[in-house]
Chains A and B, each alone.
Chain A
Amino acid sequence: MKKLMKSVALSVTALGLAVAGAQAATLDDVKAKGFVQCGVSQGLPGFSNPDDKGNWTGLDVDLCRAIAAAVFGDAEKVKYTPLSAKERFTALQSGEVDVLSRNTTWTMSRDTSLGLNFAGVNYYDGQGFMVRSSLDVKSALELSGASICTNTGTTTELNVADYFRANNMEYEVVAFEKADEVVAAYDAGRCDVYTTDQSGLYAQRLKLTNPGEHIVLPEIISKEPLGPVVRQGDDQWFNLVKWTHFAMVNAEEFGVTSGNVDEMMKTENPGIKRLLGTEGTFGEMIGVGNDWAYNIIKQVGNYAETFDRNVGPETPLQISRGVNDLWSKGGLQYAPPVR
């Protein structure tokens, strides 16, 4: 009897400990395990995509690498978890990933009801439509009666419903769980239209049998601010992710690149000195070394460098800066000062 009571008490205690253990600070967890676990897409060229050697590249991946550079001084200390649109929030909520950097749209309901926080916008996007050029469609307003392939569990699915309803047009939505299945279904002719964020359309077009036979319609039907997401209630980690992105934008504004960052260490410009950690203790304020931004810029680059390398005009995606240019050049990328 005593033995039974003891084992009951022990197992109950163990249960309690197991539950309590899941709530430590993310930054401490990350430092303890030695890498950042980053949730990415299952393969979206330009944003998060494994290359032929299995290395992940892309704009979203660079943000993960920048976080690792800030925490460890080594941008390679990242492990990636490919997630479908459906799985992504659960993976972050449950602690399976430390940060979700997976072309995820910042919306009010996601920000407020999922127990998550959006830590900035690293790409301003909008939803578009792709059709076969043989259909001779010039505008999205001609799409009444079309079948539309999209991803399930995305803002895209909701926007397309809103757009067709607002314009009083009929449509049929075919929603797949995996992006590759959506592309395959569109490629096979199951759908007339493929819709997702416009950057995604350019990226996925490269996977089609004949990319040249498809055109992206001019309409942009939604605002899609894409950015990294963290769990709510861990402000230290939230700040770190937020300022990692801001550091890259500030670096671009100051003209600091991975090429000249070593020379810039000697500069007398107080703004750059604060950014690179030669003046002040800004790194300590977010729980990492004072050379955090130096490591980010040295190993990953500033925002312009990652943009040009992954999605810019020289890449297969050929996306121009547009609204993603710096605020000083007419775009929306704006970072608060390091001060």
Chain B
Amino acid sequence: MAVQQPIADGDVSAQSDPRFLLVTVFAALAILAFYLSAVYNYFEGDYGAPFASIGGIAGGVVSIDIAKIFNFIALVLLLFPIAIIFRTKAWFGFEGKQSYAGNVFNDSGLRNFFFEMLVMAFLGFVFWFFVGNTVRNLAAANISSGFGFLDRAAGFGINFSPFIQYSETSTYLTVYMVGLQNTLIVAVLGIILATLLGFIVGVARLSTNFVISQVAYAFVEVMRNIPLLLWIFIWYFSVLRLLPSKQDPLDLGPLGLLNVAGYYAPRPVFGDGAGWIGIAFIVGIIATIFVARWAKARQMATGEQFPVFWTALGLIIGLPILALLASGIPLTFEMPTASRFGPRGGARVIPEFLGLLVALVTYTAAYIAEIVRAGILAVNKGQTEAANALGLRSGPTLRLVVIPQAMRVIIPPMTNQYLNLTKNSSLAVAIAYPELVSVFAGTALNQTGQAVEILLMTMLTYLTISLLTAWFMNWFNARMALVER
């Protein structure tokens, strides 16, 4: 054994060290356990070496037999000498921690290390047991496994994929991407709209106007006290179904058509020279950033204010319009036209998306409204009074004094709401909106039968989205937090 090497080098005191005895005893016990498992395997007709059956534990087993238990015991026993070596590196020539007085059992650090290792070994064992078992059972039941299916053609249609090119010949990997795309679309739009609506309702809830505050109050209570799935059904099956039929759409004039099969908006078609509009837009944004910096610097230096908002509006919207006019209006709109099977053309938004988005936004906005109200109420009234005393009007008081302080209370619970909204979007499976759970963990799972792989991918995807959201919100929260010195 390698550990005996330093002893042979002449460390005589180690001969009488109780650690040496312990290491030897535990190593011997471990070897005995391996031996027993080997003997057992021999009689069971499995001639593999005992170390191969350690691999058996790692590779997963259908049933646990006595040999595997001996192996597990051996693994745990081996931890003890390893723990002692780690703890007292003196044997390797390092300066060890001599925190115990004579007896290793009195070394609390060593004890902790041993039990930590024990728990880790057990967790690892349980994990490998389940993974290995699943793989073996799938193989035993002749159910195909692996991720090879991702390269196969899906063969079914998906009716909503704004950014990714999808057809029936696309692969299951594309199906996954389309599902992820549709989840992200509804989640991002939902988060933005729910935040806006939530802030409006939350502020309205505190309004001194009795009617406004009571309407906001009623909205919050009705929305959040009915289950979300029911809201999705209400919006999709009840509200959107009241729209006129496909053959007889509601004509919104320049805004397009609305019917039971969705909203058909005019689609902008850009001609030659349309690139200038985009360039003007980007230039507008960059110019705004510079103006804002300059204005802030000037206000810091001289106290003079500059109308940044109106300048920004002019730059970001005005410049592209100027470019549009200057380039001879290369922009036309494709209007939806009627056909036998309802309107064709235009930019279509399917009702499944509308139903889901409205349900998610209104439901989550009710919670956000309460968070916003709580945040504003948490700011001491003295802050407002002090700001007023300094001569700030009520607008700047709210914007510069109250809201920044309220944000510190608002952001942490807001993260929860964003995560909830994202995860709740999976309820779309009830109304045929083709998001990740519906199209990948639903249709693709059923067509391929590979439940384990697909559900694993789906779970990891939601986990990633949620962790990224939480990470971003934590970063944002850290920025907004009170700077303490």
Check: A161 CB closer than 8 A to any chain B CB. Answer: yes
Binds B, one of A49-57, A186-194, A316-324: A186-194
Binds B, one of A8-16, A61-69, A216-224, A304-312: A8-16
Q: Which of A20, A147, A152, A177 is within 8 Å of B342, CB to CB? A: A147
| Contact residues in A for B275 (Cβ distance below 8 Å) | none
| Contact residues in A for B61 (Cβ distance below 8 Å) | 16
Residues facing A in B317-340 (CB within 8 A) are 339-340
Q: Contact flags (1/0) for A146-176 with B, using CB distance below 8 Å?
A: 1100001110011011101100000111111
Check: A280 CB closer than 8 A to any chain B CB. Answer: no
| Contact residues in A for B129 (Cβ distance below 8 Å) | 12, 15
Q: Contact flags (1/0) for B305-318 with A, using CB distance below 8 Å?
A: 00000000000000
In the bound complex, CA of A114 to CA of B449 (Å) = 6
Check: A32 CB closer than 8 A to any chain B CB. Answer: no
Check: A89 CB closer than 8 A to any chain B CB. Answer: yes
Check: B294 CB closer than 8 A to any chain A CB. Answer: no
Residues facing B in A1-43 (CB within 8 A) are 4-5, 8-9, 12-13, 15-17, 19-20
| Contact residues in A for B451 (Cβ distance below 8 Å) | 90
Question: Contacts A145-B344, A158-B155, A174-B159 hold; do A93 and B143 have CB atoms under 8 A apart?
Answer: yes
| Contact residues in B for A188 (Cβ distance below 8 Å) | 237, 241, 260
Check: A211 CB closer than 8 A to any chain B CB. Answer: no
Check: B407 CB closer than 8 A to any chain A CB. Answer: no
Binds A, one of B16-24, B62-70, B213-221: B62-70
| Contact residues in B for A164 (Cβ distance below 8 Å) | 157
Question: Is B341 touching A147 in the complex (CB atoms < 8 A)?
Answer: yes
Q: Which of B122, B156, B241, B448 is within 8 Å of A173, CB to CB? A: B156
Question: Contacts A12-B72, A86-B446 hold; do A177 and B144 have CB atoms under 8 A apart?
Answer: no
Question: Is A173 touching B159 in the complex (CB atoms < 8 A)?
Answer: yes
Check: B362 CB closer than 8 A to any chain A CB. Answer: no
Check: A108 CB closer than 8 A to any chain B CB. Answer: no
Question: Is A13 touching B142 in the complex (CB atoms < 8 A)?
Answer: no
Question: Contacts A20-B62, A152-B446, A157-B443 hold; do A8 and B122 have CB atoms under 8 A apart?
Answer: yes
In the bound complex, CA of A185 to CA of B157 (Å) = 18
Residues facing A in B432-455 (CB within 8 A) are 432, 434, 438, 442-443, 445-449, 451
| Contact residues in B for A331 (Cβ distance below 8 Å) | none
Check: A236 CB closer than 8 A to any chain B CB. Answer: no
Q: Which of B142, B246, B260 is within 8 Å of A115, CB to CB? A: B142
Check: B82 CB closer than 8 A to any chain A CB. Answer: no
Q: Contact flags (1/0) for A67-93 with B, using CB distance below 8 Å?
A: 000000000000000000110011001
Check: B284 CB closer than 8 A to any chain A CB. Answer: no
Check: B463 CB closer than 8 A to any chain A CB. Answer: no
Residues facing A in B398-438 (CB within 8 A) are 429-432, 434, 438
- 16 example contacts (A-B, Cβ-Cβ < 8 A) are as follows A9-B69, A12-B64, A12-B72, A19-B62, A110-B449, A113-B144, A147-B342, A153-B443, A153-B447, A154-B446, A158-B156, A164-B157, A173-B157, A174-B352, A174-B432, A188-B260
In the bound complex, CA of A17 to CA of B63 (Å) = 7
| Contact residues in A for B73 (Cβ distance below 8 Å) | 5, 9
Check: A313 CB closer than 8 A to any chain B CB. Answer: no
Q: Which of A85, A93, A161, A176 is within 8 Å of B141, CB to CB? A: A93
| Contact residues in B for A5 (Cβ distance below 8 Å) | 73, 76
Question: Is A13 touching B141 in the complex (CB atoms < 8 A)?
Answer: no
Check: A265 CB closer than 8 A to any chain B CB. Answer: no
**A interface residues with partner B (beta carbon < 8 Å):** 4-5, 8-9, 12-13, 15-17, 19-20, 85-86, 89-90, 93, 110, 113-115, 135, 143, 145-147, 152-154, 157-158, 160-162, 164-165, 171-177, 181, 184-185, 188-192, 231-233
Residues facing A in B122-152 (CB within 8 A) are 122, 125, 129, 133, 137-138, 140-144
Question: Is B446 touching A233 in the complex (CB atoms < 8 A)?
Answer: no
Question: Contacts A158-B155, A184-B237, A192-B246 hold; do A177 and B442 have CB atoms under 8 A apart?
Answer: yes
Q: Which of A4, A17, A175 is within 8 Å of B432, CB to CB? A: A175
Residue in B63, B141, B157 with the greatest tally of chain A CB atoms within 10 Å: B157
Question: Contacts A16-B63, A152-B446, A174-B352 hold; do A135 and B144 have CB atoms under 8 A apart?
Answer: no
In the bound complex, CA of A115 to CA of B143 (Å) = 5
Check: B31 CB closer than 8 A to any chain A CB. Answer: no
> Least Cβ distance of B355 to chain A in Å?
11
Question: Is B155 touching A190 in the complex (CB atoms < 8 A)?
Answer: no
| Contact residues in A for B62 (Cβ distance below 8 Å) | 19-20
| Contact residues in B for A233 (Cβ distance below 8 Å) | 140-142
Question: Is B155 touching A162 in the complex (CB atoms < 8 A)?
Answer: yes
In the bound complex, CA of A165 to CA of B62 (Å) = 45
**B interface residues with partner A (beta carbon < 8 Å):** 61-65, 68-69, 72-73, 76, 118, 122, 125, 129, 133, 137-138, 140-144, 155-159, 168, 237, 241, 245-246, 260-261, 339-342, 344, 351-352, 429-432, 434, 438, 442-443, 445-449, 451
| Contact residues in A for B143 (Cβ distance below 8 Å) | 93, 113-115
In the bound complex, CA of A171 to CA of B137 (Å) = 41
In the bound complex, CA of A5 to CA of B118 (Å) = 10
Question: Is B351 touching A175 in the complex (CB atoms < 8 A)?
Answer: no
> Least Cβ distance of B346 to chain A in Å?
13
Question: Is A115 touching B63 in the complex (CB atoms < 8 A)?
Answer: no
| Contact residues in A for B245 (Cβ distance below 8 Å) | 189
**Lowest 5 CB-CB distances: which A-B pairs, in order?**
A153-B446, A16-B64, A115-B143, A173-B157, A115-B141
> Least Cβ distance of A133 to chain B in Å?
14
Question: Is A145 touching B69 in the complex (CB atoms < 8 A)?
Answer: no
Question: Is B141 touching A145 in the complex (CB atoms < 8 A)?
Answer: no
In the bound complex, CA of A233 to CA of B62 (Å) = 17
| Contact residues in A for B65 (Cβ distance below 8 Å) | 16
| Contact residues in A for B69 (Cβ distance below 8 Å) | 9, 12-13
Question: Is B157 touching A232 in the complex (CB atoms < 8 A)?
Answer: no
| Contact residues in A for B118 (Cβ distance below 8 Å) | 4
Q: Which chain A residue has the least Cβ–Cβ distance from B443?
A: A152
Question: Is A145 touching B340 in the complex (CB atoms < 8 A)?
Answer: yes
Question: Is A146 touching B156 in the complex (CB atoms < 8 A)?
Answer: no
> Least Cβ distance of B117 to chain A in Å?
13
Question: Is A135 touching B340 in the complex (CB atoms < 8 A)?
Answer: yes
Question: Is A177 touching B429 in the complex (CB atoms < 8 A)?
Answer: yes
Residue in A9, A20, A157, A189 with the greatest tally of chain B CB atoms within 10 Å: A189
| Contact residues in B for A17 (Cβ distance below 8 Å) | 63
In the bound complex, CA of A174 to CA of B352 (Å) = 9
Q: Which chain A residue has the least Cβ–Cβ distance from B434?
A: A175
In the bound complex, CA of A190 to CA of B353 (Å) = 13
Question: Is B342 touching A192 in the complex (CB atoms < 8 A)?
Answer: yes
> Least Cβ distance of B279 to chain A in Å?
35
In the bound complex, CA of A238 to CA of B32 (Å) = 47
A sample of 16 more A-B contacts (CB under 8 A), given A153-B443, A173-B157, A188-B241, is A9-B69, A13-B69, A16-B64, A86-B445, A86-B446, A115-B141, A147-B342, A153-B447, A161-B156, A161-B157, A164-B157, A172-B157, A175-B443, A177-B429, A188-B237, A189-B261
Q: Which chain A residue has the least Cβ–Cβ distance from B159?
A: A172
In the bound complex, CA of A103 to CA of B277 (Å) = 57
| Contact residues in A for B237 (Cβ distance below 8 Å) | 184, 188
Question: Is A157 touching B142 in the complex (CB atoms < 8 A)?
Answer: no
In the bound complex, CA of A188 to CA of B438 (Å) = 22
In the bound complex, CA of A147 to CA of B142 (Å) = 38
> Least Cβ distance of B143 to chain A in Å?
4
